[in-house]
Amino acid sequence: MTSKQEVILSGIRPTGRLHYGNYFGAMKSFIDLQEKGHQCFYFIADYHALTTVTERVDILQQTIDMLRTYVACGLDPVRSVIYRQSDLPCTAELALLLGMITNIGHLERGTTYKDKMSKLAESSQGGEGNPLSYGLLGYPVLMAADILIVRANQVPVGDDQRQHVEMAIDIAQKFNHRFGETLSIPRAVERNALRLPGLDGAAKMGKSDNNTLDLLDDPKTVLKKIKGVQTTTDPEPLDTESNDPDMVIPKMPYSVGALYRLLSLLAPEDVYLDFVGKYRRGEKFYGTLKTTLAEYVSKFNEPIIEGFNAPNNTPDSIKDFLHENAKKVTPVGLETVESCRQAMGIGRSLYRA
Ligand code: TYM
């Protein structure tokens, strides 16, 4: 254990397949932090998956496939504690306790909730009162419980989750202020956190928007998806001298920006710079950009697909380590919940004592 070792926690919902937004927004940092020797807790947010279900879905199957992808990407279930959220059920108890101090107004300002509300208003389904679930409104409280239960210092997530981490910080500060120093306060999300645009030109790549490039896509699918990206014939002039992706890409239309962002993440710098030069000069180059990018993407996907299908990465081997890792995370989880119970005045659980 190094003196700078920190507690890291993050999770991903079990949507079945990881996309490039998940990978470069979150998973890449999961791996880097694991390699740096931090104490890492990475989980699959299967409770959170239930906030949007309208019919029965095989969440367990999707969870196992996500975990096989975690392993294929390089997460190591021995060095990192990889678990299912629902295997740490005291998270739900902590969420209940934290819910007692969370203002409804605060939750109603949450971006996920607000987005769903405005989609409802557009579809004029709002007739019989608010049909959104209590679970969806409480999504950030459950997420705060995930983070605070292991006393995380750092939460590697993409830019879209920034507000949720800020809510967790607010909730923890409020708890400590009201009941005494009990919870550890995590750091806010870094300013340069990524938001990868969707292949359809939306500001964000997201599973429910059907605009993703996935880590398990085979070369044919990759090429088809990338060729389908809408590219304007005449690039807009870039009013910056800089070639830094963070300066250049926001000046491009989102769908073109998605291609350039992927290129900057996957290709050597000279290849990326060459295409930035072509964009500036207004050459006709989108065809080559797409085939070049598709090759880099398929090359990137190849070992992940192989790892996903490897004989030592079966659903049974996943179940084995899930069992072991649930045992590793439970002590810290119970300790946090018990200290919150005590701080709030209901005392320790007699059943667990
Ligand atoms: P989820 O499953 O939507 O996304 C998982 C991770 O991928 C990142 N991400 C992106 N990053 C950049 N560009 C994109 N287009 C993009 N799309 C997704 C997300 O920022 C996230 O880091 N609420 C979380 C899961 C969760 C969690 C937690 C995370 C539950 N409890 C506690 C951290 C800590 C979610 O739905 O992520």
CATH of the domain at 234: 1.10.240.10
pLDDT above 70 (res 2): no
> Do the domain assignments include residue 199?
no
Residues 230 and 261 occupy one common structural domain? yes
Q: How far is the CA of 161 from the centre of ligand 1 (A)?
A: 6
* Position 3 confidence tier, pLDDT thresholds 50, 70, 90: low
Element (H or E) spanning 325, and its range? helix 315-344
Residue 242 burial (10 A CB sphere; 0-12, 13-18, 19+): exposed
Q: pLDDT per residue over 214-243, tens digit each?
A: 999 999 999 999 999 999 767 778 888 899
Q: Which of 157, 194, 207, 210 best tests ligand 1's pocket when mutated (most atoms within 8 Å of CB)?
A: 157
Residue 170 Cα to ligand 1 midpoint, Å, equals 19
Higher pLDDT residue, 158 or 115?
Answer: 158
Cβ-contact 254, 202 below 8 angstroms = yes
- Check residue 4 and give its pLDDT: 82
Residues 132 and 230 in one domain: no
pLDDT band at 353 (very low <50, low <70, confident <90, very high): low
Residue 195 in contact with ligand 1 by CB distance below 6 A: yes
Q: Is there a domain that residue 287 lies in?
A: yes
Pair (170, 51) in one structural domain = yes
Instruction: Let me know whether 211 and 235 are in one domain.
Output: yes
204 ligand 1 Cβ < 6 A: yes
Cβ of residue 161 lying under 6 Å from some atom of ligand 1: yes
Q: What is the mean pLDDT of the chain?
A: 93
Q: Is 349 part of any domain?
A: no
Question: 181 and 221 share a domain?
Answer: no
**Rounded-to-integer distance, Cα 347 and Cα 109, Å:** 33
Q: Within a domain: residue 352?
A: no
Tell me how far apart the alpha carbons of residues 155 and 165 are, in angstroms, rounded to a whole number.
8
227, 205 in Cβ contact below 8 A?
no
| pLDDT given for residue 126 in this prediction | 52
Question: In angstroms, rounded to a whole number, what is the distance separating the alpha carbons of residues 144 and 11?
Answer: 12
| Residue 137 maps to a domain | yes
Whether 202 is in a domain gets the answer: no
Q: Report the alpha-carbon distance of residue 292 to residue 307 in Å, rounded.
A: 24
What own/partner pairs with CB < 8 Å and gap ≥ 24 does 275-280 have? 276/243, 276/248, 279/235, 279/238, 279/252, 280/235, 280/237, 280/238
CA–CA separation, 44 and 61 (whole Å): 12
Domains contained in the chain, number: 2
Asked whether residue 303 falls in the same domain as residue 181, the answer is no
Cα distance between residue 268 and residue 248, in whole Å = 17
Quick one: average pLDDT of 121-128? 67
Element (H, E) at 55: none
Are 282 and 325 within one domain?
A: no
**Residue 134 CB contacts under 8 Å (≥ 6 apart), including other chains:** none
Considering the domain architecture, whether residues 186 and 246 belong to the same structural domain is answered as no
Q: Cα of 11 to ligand 1 centre, how many Å?
A: 7
Q: Predicted confidence band at 54 (pLDDT cuts at 50, 70, 90)?
A: confident
Task: Return the C-alpha torsion angle 140, 145, 151, 157, nearest 10.
Answer: -30
Residue 146 domain-assigned? yes
Round to the nearest angstrom and report the end-to-end CA distance of the chain.
Answer: 30
- Token look-up 């030069």 returns 277
Between the alpha carbon of residue 268 and those of residues 33, 193, 274, 285, the distances in Å are 23, 21, 10, 18
Q: Are residues 158 and 213 in the same domain?
A: no
Q: For residue 37, is it within any domain?
A: yes
- 10 burial class (0-12, 13-18, 19+ CB within 10 angstroms)? buried
Beta bridge partners of 152: none
Tell me the C-alpha to C-alpha distance, in Å, between residue 285 and each of 66, 246, 281.
36, 21, 10
Are both 119 and 224 inside the same structural domain? no
Instruction: Print the domain residue range for 259.
Output: 207-308
Residue 1: pLDDT band by 50, 70, 90 thresholds?
A: very low
Ligand 1 site, residue 48, Cβ cutoff 6 A: yes
Residue of the CA atom closest to atom 24 of ligand 1: 12
pTM of the model: 0.95
Same domain, 150 and 222: no
H or E, element range at 134: helix 134-137
Between helix 315-344 and helix 139-149 the angle, nearest 10°, is 90
- % of the chain at pLDDT higher than 90: 81
- CATH number, position 63: 3.40.50.620
Question: Looking at the structure, do residues 188 and 211 belong to the same domain, yes or no?
Answer: no
